[in-house]
Each structure stands twice: as structure tokens, then as C-alpha cells.
Amino acid sequence: MMKVAIVGATGMVGRVMLRVLEERKLPIDEILLVASTRSVGKKINYRGKPHSVIGLEEAVNAHPNIALFSAGGETSLEWAPKFAAAGTTVIDNSSAWRMDSNKKLVVPEINADLLTKKDKIIANPNCSTIQMVMALAPLHKAFNIKRIVISTYQSITGTGVKAVEQLSNEANGKVGDMAYPHPIYENALPQCDIFMENDYTKEEMKLVNETHKIFNDSSIGITATAIRIPVVGGHSESVNLEFKNSFEVNEIRSILEQTRGVEVQDNPKKNIYPMPIEAKGKDSVFVGRIRRDKSIKNGLNLWIVSDNLRKGAATNTIQIAEYLIENRLV
């Protein structure tokens, strides 16, 4: 019997997890929909049938094989160890465990082979990190990345329901709660998450630290600026790379075209390049605007787009679960 719990099932990512689970047809015998006490008893449809939301304590006592967490860092810090102690393998979508040296930070296409039965809490990387490393991992292997300069243009859905409501209110001239310190409609905010003592935001430092951990290479120089824009479909990233080794642009394109989970959309003469409006609802990472940066030796520019709620969150989490099930690690 394969029993799976979705912790945070009523949230934005939790509901996408349910949608992805239905699409991918995991061999699940029983699903538990879990949320905070205020949501207990609510009904959510899964595979055409209503399921009642249960609380965290009840879910732990049910001993699921896998628990997919998307309920925030504080909930993960408190409850993931309780699930793990009960024998459940937790795959956590928050930032709580990502930089814990004893926890694996996993993008299945890159490093799922690190997982073992002993890994009871597994961290899902940040959405903006996932889509970038999906494209960069094979290039790093081939040409050895020396430095990365990142500018992100991130969807409001990465902030949550409150941000979606703020954009809708502002677009319709309504006054309401603010998810951001400034208006987001017809605006761009050079702030994703809070500022840290080094004047970078937490989101920017996630791109730095998580990339180092996933690549197991802290020698790469990385700097990032994360920008929030009034877009719903997904995150976009302008990524400038400096390699240690020489390359040809056609080699870059060929490697990316052969990378599982990556789709190349790169025909500028026909105005073909990735856009969040077309990435929405899809699991691929889309790469375009592939061109040499002639201002430095071995420089390259890429434009990387992906649906942050899917590959950037729900889908990556579920792909980890698939790997665990397929390899009998749970």
C-alpha cells in the first residue's frame, strides 16, 4: 500500500501538487490531504472524489509512506521531523531544510542518484534555482562554469494568493491587502523576499547558495538580482555565464536540446523565444536567446523560463517521490 500525504493541500502549490499527481498517475493507494486546523473538514476533490482535509497530528498517526510538504518553513521545521520519526519520507518545498548539511537538495534530473533509504527529509530547491540549474547543469559538466550573473523576473504566484489578489485589486481599481510594500500592477519591484545584512534579498542568496550545493561546487562566482513583475505564468531569468573552457554556440544548443526536461525555443528571426505566458501549466524549462557574450572570454547569455508552481515547486517535488517509489527507497 502506497499512502501519500499532501501537507498544505489547500494552498496554491498544494493544489497544483494534486493536479500534477492526477496527471502523472503515481501508484498511490491512499491520499491524505493535510492542512492547518482552520481548514480541517474542508472538502477537496482528487481524481473525481471529495476528500476531507485532516490535521497534522492525524496525518502523522496515519503513517504515510511519503509526505509532500508545501506549508511554509515554520510548519516544516516543526512537523517534518515528526513525520520522519514515524517512518515517513518527507519531501519539503519550503526553505527550511535546503541548506542543512545533513539534507539532500534535489533536482531529480541532476542529482537524484544521491538519495538513499536513510534520507527521511529531502529538500526541494527554490523555484528560481530549479529552472536555472536544469539548464546549467549539463553546460557546467561540459565547459566548467566560472561565474554566473543572474537577473530574475518573477511571477507574483511565487508570493502566494495574497499577491494574486493584490494584482487583481490594483488592476480593477480596488483597495485591498498588500502583499508587497509597493503597487505591483504596471510596476517592477527589485525585491523578492526580505533584504539581508549584505543588501541582497533572501531570494537572491538562495540562487547563490542552492546552486553551489546542487552542483557541489562553491568555487563558482554567483551574483543575482531578483525582480518581481506583474506576471502570473512563470519566472523568467536572464543568465550570463563565464566558462573556464572554450565552447561553440552550436555545442551549447545541441547539449540543451538533448537535456531531459529542457526545451529550446530559439529562433529570434521569427520572434521565437521563451515567454511565461506560454510556459504556464507546463513542466518543461524553456531556454532561448542563446548567444555568445563577446565582452568576455568564454561568455554566454541565456534566457530561461518555467512555470514556478510546476517544475519550480509541485512537479519537482513529485518527481522526487516518483524516483523514490521507482527505486524502492520508500
- Label each residue of the chain as H, E or C: CCEEEEECCCCHHHHHHHHHHHHHCCCCCEEEEECCHHHCCCEEEECCEEEECECHHHHHHCCCCEEEECCCHHHHHHHHHHHHHCCCEEEECCCCCCCCCCCCECCHHHHHHHCCCCCCEEECCCHHHHHHHHHHHHHHHHHCEEEEEEEEEECHHHCCHHHHHHHHHHHCCCCCCCCCCCCCCCCCECCCCCECCCCCEHHHHHHHHHHHHHHCCCCCEEEEEEEECCCCCCEEEEEEEEECCCCCHHHHHHHHHCCCCEEECCEHHHCECCCHHHHCCCCCEEEEEEEEECCCCCEEEEEEEECCCHHHHHHHHHHHHHHHHHCCCC
Catalytic residue among 51, 140, 192, 235: 235
Q: Among this protein's residues, is 51 annotated catalytic?
A: no
Q: Among this protein's residues, is 127 annotated catalytic?
A: yes
Catalytic residue among 51, 127, 140, 192: 127
Active site residues: 127, 235
